Amino acid sequence: MKLIVGLGNPGGQYKDSRHNIGYMVVDKLAREIGRQGLVWERDEKRNAETARVGDVILVKPLTFMNNSGIAVKKLVDYYKISPRDVWVIHDDIDLPIGKLKIREGGGTAGHNGIESIMKFLGTDGFMRFRLGIGRGREDVKKGTDQNLRHRAVINFVLSRFTLSEAGSLRKLIKYGVAAVRMALTDGVDKAMNRFN
């Protein structure tokens, strides 16, 4: 069984934000691998929306990004899934827009959703599908107060993709879905060789 978690924030104001690229990928994945009429079900006990196709459970945590680990841990415990079978799809500002990287384990790279999942699972031993959203133009100078730099990053990840980025966004979602599908059918190593 695989738990495929798309990270994002619930609510209409975040729907098309860069931080919600994980939601966008699992939504498209659900449409592609799901039977006709597959619907997301709200699981109040586990703070998530889920859609199940065979032994694959697609997840959108409803705990907001910084507390994603709460929902993931509850689902891991409920379905008795090993952390190694948890695949997390998330935005990554350290990758150029449109770039995809797959890896197991490692640090958080400052991503609060990944940090929360590591904290609640007690391990970094889960798969990450990192989707590049770029950094945008930084409006703060080097040596500027760290809090100001941090706020600039938050504003950027919560911003929407621009019209000029629409093609890169479509490609990124398409690649994200293709990478997860290949990992499911042919194994993660083959997906890494193809997409990394």
What letter would DSSP give residue 117? H
In one-letter notation, the amino acid at residue 108 is T
Catalytic residues: 19
Rounded-to-integer distance, Cα 75 and Cα 73, Å:
5
Give pLDDT, residue 166.
85
Higher pLDDT, 31 or 158: 31
| Domains of the chain from N-terminus onward | 2-195 (3.40.50.1470)
How far is C-alpha 72 from the geometric centre of its chain's CA atoms? 12
Name the band, by pLDDT with cuts 50, 70 and 90, for residue 42: very high
**Model confidence over 3-25: pLDDT tens digits?**
999 999 999 889 888 889 999 99
- Do residues 88 and 110 touch, judged by C-beta distance below 8 A? no
Name the band, by pLDDT with cuts 50, 70 and 90, for residue 135: confident
Higher pLDDT, 143 or 97: 97
Give pLDDT, residue 157.
79
Burial tier of 146 (Cβ tally within 10 Å: 0-12, 13-18, 19+): exposed
Least Cα distance to 81 among 110, 108, 46 occurs for 46
What letter would DSSP give residue 37? T
How far is C-alpha 184 from the geometric centre of its chain's CA atoms? 16
Q: Give whichever of 37-46, 75-84, 95-104 has the largest mean pLDDT.
A: 75-84
Helices assigned H by DSSP within the chain = 21-33, 68-79, 112-121, 146-157, 166-186, 188-195
**Model confidence over 148-174: pLDDT tens digits?**
455 677 788 788 888 888 888 999 999
Mean pLDDT of the chain: 89
Rounded-to-integer distance, Cα 33 and Cα 18, Å:
24
Contacts of 111 (CB under 8 A, 6+ apart): 90, 91, 92
Separation in Å, CA 128 to CA 80, 100, 137, 147: 20, 10, 26, 27
Question: What tokens does 151 get?
Answer: 């706020």
